[in-house]
């Protein structure tokens, strides 16, 4: 169970940190963060430089998605009931 809970908690913590940094109450501005990159890029969205905000957003989404997929695969691999249902 710990092998499944830890990655899910990690992805939640990454999302929470990015959200708090985006809102300006997270890590200091001198520290790199995906939330700060997205927040700084919001000023340039309508000026034609959309990639300043979109690329860190895609990285954040893909990072959380990959962690969740790995946790789900670990759960499927370690659950004997799911292995038994595949054979039926």
Residue 38, CB half-sphere, CA atoms under 13 Å: how many? 20
Q: What tokens appear for 73 in the block? A: 């695969």
With contact defined as beta carbons under 8 Å apart, do 18 and 34 qualify?
A: yes
- Work out the percent of the chain whose per-residue pLDDT is above 70: 92
Q: Cα–Cα distance between 33 and 15 in angstroms, integer?
A: 11
CA 79 to chain centre: 25
Q: What confidence tens digit (pLDDT) does each residue in 19-45 have?
A: 999 999 988 989 999 999 999 998 888
Inform me whether the pLDDT recorded for 86 exceeds 60: no
pLDDT of residue 81: 76
Average per-residue pLDDT for the chain: 88
């Amino acid at each position: 169970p710990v092998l499944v809970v830890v990655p899910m908690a990690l992805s939640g913590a990454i999302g929470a940190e990015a959200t708090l940094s985006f809102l300006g109450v997270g890590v200091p501005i001198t520290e790199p963060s995906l939330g700060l990159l997205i927040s700084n890029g919001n000023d340039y969205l309508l000026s034609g430089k959309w990639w300043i905000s979109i690329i860190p957003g895609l990285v954040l989404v893909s990072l959380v998605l990959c962690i969740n997929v790995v946790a789900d695969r670990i759960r499927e691999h370690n659950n004997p009931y799911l292995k038994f249902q595949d054979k039926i």
